[in-house]
Amino acid sequence: MSGTAPAGAPPGTPNMPPPVQLRRRRFSFVWLIPLIAALIAIYLGYRTFKEQGPLLTLTFDSADGLSAGQTQVKYKAVALGTVESIDLSPDNSHVVVKVRMNNVGARFLTNKARYWVVRANFSLSDPSSLGSFVSGAYIAVDPGGAGGRYCDNFTGLEEPPGVRSDEPGRTYRLMTEKVGSLRTGSPVFYRDAIVGEVLGYDLGNGLVPVTVNIFVRAPFDALVRAQSHFWNASGISLDTEPGAFHVEFESLEAVVAGGVAFNLPQQAADEPPSPNNTAFALYASRTQAESAGYDQSIPAVAYFHSSVAGLAAGSPVDIYGLQVGVVTDVQLILNPNTGEEKVRVAMALQPQRNAHGADFMTDAQTAALLQKIINRGMRVELDTASLVTGQKIITIATVPGAGPAQITREGDAYVLPSQSGGLDSTVASLSDISAKLDKIPFDKIANNLNTLLETTNGTLGSKDTKQAIASLAVTLRTMNTTLSMFNENYGDDSDFQRNLEQVMAQGSDTLRSIKQLSDYLDRHPDALLLGRGGGQ
């Protein structure tokens, strides 16, 4: 097919097709959607990268309660980051927890910060801890003081720290022989109020006393003075007092988790607060702590030759039911030469318990007063405080008939005369009575009595005895008849009785006349000479 040559084309030019006109395409808004999505993704990625904090590495002994992507790091209930991963260390000895902190959490990455895991736990002293059962475990942080250097790798604490950087107060060291039920976090009490907690304890080399570290919050730390006394308030204390059974416990929290309590003596009110890290003795009970408040003591010793079961260091020493001292030691003494055994009881008499404690200021005064007491018959006895528990105490009592005795010295201690007393003395007396009763020949006495009864029965049952009884019956009937006849002749209606009454009446008249005459002569004695009308 040939076409027509365009106009003006040279001759011989073949015919060409007409030119094609192209249309310009318009822009489609559909392409804006992926573009905008890409821009948003880039912005969010940039924002996330910019807002996310550094990566924190924590090392714990166990990952119990932790979960990647869920467990958070919190401070005062504010989220600071989230756990990204949990892995084992190369040697499998611990776990490595990676935490992505936010911008706020980056402030806590200093070498003074401390991290620990707060697991689901309910504390009687902190009911808000019940919330951990709902929210699950989380990682808590204590920021520490200011001025630390940057650090993003920490070894987590297995127990919460007792002292927080944002909580003022003081720490103290308590020395004791045994810890009991105390543990990290056990409360510290003052007048039943929780004012601190136990930080932990150190056994040392096992030969020295145990050191218990405690923290007392401000302003209660100002109540700890040089004369304050601390005691173990753990569990329930069961004790017996005269006429009562004593049950004591500091609080339900102390029963469950243990605890420490302290006091502030009245005489220490003007003392300054004890400085940080001061050491105190930790006593086993409130009684021992209060007893230690008496700083003056008189050492004394008494020896016993009977059982002292139930007596121990800390047992009271009483006079008339009032405590005047405490037992400090109980030892068995065996004489290798004679084989004699006795028990040595060491005591500390506390004169400050006495209203006239000032009279015991010097050794001479003390010796003179003790000698006077002993000369009055006072003796040291072992007494039973409770028949239920078997607890025993030392009693200084007046013994009737006890003569004077001389006080001796054993080093610095006064040796006081003693004797058996209390329940042991009663038991010993009953034992002596029982021994004496055992010596009585009850078998022979019973045989002789049986023989006597048999003889008596044979005698009373014989024919002669029966005849004598019959004769006695006849005699008694005869006497009865005689008495009846006497009553008829001399009874109330007899002539004898009426005549006797007439004679008695005449005698009474005669006595009355004599009395009148006697009265007249008392008034007129001259009538014996002059007659009744002597004046005329």
What confidence tens digit (pLDDT) does each residue in 239-258 have?
A: 544 444 455 555 555 555 67
Q: For residues 305-334, give the mean pLDDT.
A: 85
Per-residue model confidence (pLDDT) at position 460? 62
**More confident call, 268 vs 515:** 268
Worst-scoring range by mean pLDDT, 17-21, 231-235, 336-340?
Answer: 17-21
* CA 349, 352, 355, 359 torsion-angle sign: positive
Integer Cα distance of 441 and 446 in angstroms = 9
Banded model confidence at residue 371, pLDDT cuts 50, 70, 90: confident
**Confidence class for position 49, pLDDT limits 50, 70, 90:** low
Best mean pLDDT range from 80-94, 155-169, 253-267, 382-396: 80-94
Specify whether the CB–CB gap between 288 and 327 falls below 8 A: no
Distance CA 203, CA 212 (A): 9
Given pLDDT bands bounded at 50, 70 and 90, which one contains residue 536?
Answer: very low
pLDDT of residue 99: 93
Q: Are 345 and 392 in contact (CB under 8 A)?
A: no
Q: Which of 30-39, 64-73, 162-171, 436-445 has the highest mean pLDDT?
A: 64-73
pLDDT in tens, 431-474: 667 666 677 777 777 777 777 777 766 666 667 767 777 777 77
| Cα–Cα dist 207/190, whole Å | 30
Highest mean pLDDT among 225-239, 324-338, 418-432: 324-338
pLDDT of 1: 47
Phi/psi of residue 3, each to 5°? -115, 175
State the average pLDDT over residues 499-509.
73
Weakest-pLDDT range from 13-17, 76-80, 135-139, 474-478: 13-17
When pLDDT is cut at 50, 70 and 90, the band that residue 492 belongs to is: low
Tokens of 173: 């060291």
Q: For 277-281, 342-346, 442-446, which range has the lowest pLDDT when averaged over its residues?
A: 442-446
Predicted local distance difference test score (pLDDT) of residue 219: 92
Is 140 or 123 the better-scoring residue by pLDDT?
A: 140
Q: How confident is the model at residue 261 (pLDDT cuts 50, 70, 90)?
A: very high
- Residue 242: its pLDDT value, please? 44
> Is the pLDDT score of 401 beyond 70?
yes
Convert 63-96 to b/e letters by CB count within 10 Å (16 or more is b): beebeeeebbbbbeeeebbbbeebeeeeeeeebb
Q: Average pLDDT for residues 342-353, to the nearest whole number?
A: 86
Give the mean model confidence (pLDDT) for residues 515-524.
70
Question: How confident is residue 298, by pLDDT bands cut at 50, 70 and 90?
Answer: confident
Instruction: Give the model's pLDDT for residue 461.
Output: 64
Residue 101: is its pLDDT beyond 70? yes
Q: What percent of the chain has pLDDT over 70?
A: 72
Question: What proportion of the chain, given as a percentage, has pLDDT over 90?
Answer: 16
Q: By mean pLDDT, which of 64-78, 386-400, 402-416 is the weakest?
A: 386-400
**Structural domain boundaries in the chain:** 46-155, 169-291, 298-432, 496-530
| Lowest-pLDDT choice from 89-93, 155-159, 358-362 | 358-362
> Which of the residue ranges 253-267, 317-331, 415-429, 472-486 has the most confident prediction, judged by mean pLDDT?
317-331
Give the pLDDT of residue 13.
57
Q: Are 396 and 318 in contact (CB under 8 A)?
A: yes
Alpha carbons within 13 angstroms on the beta-carbon side of residue 241 total 9
How much is the pLDDT for 174?
A: 93
Strands 193-202 and 187-190 come out as antiparallel
Bridge-based pairing state of the strands 316-319 and 392-398: parallel
- Position 378 confidence tier, pLDDT thresholds 50, 70, 90: confident
Tokens of 202: 């150190």
Rounded to the nearest integer, the mean pLDDT of the chain is: 78
pLDDT of the residue at 522:
67
| pTM of the complete model beyond 0.75 | no
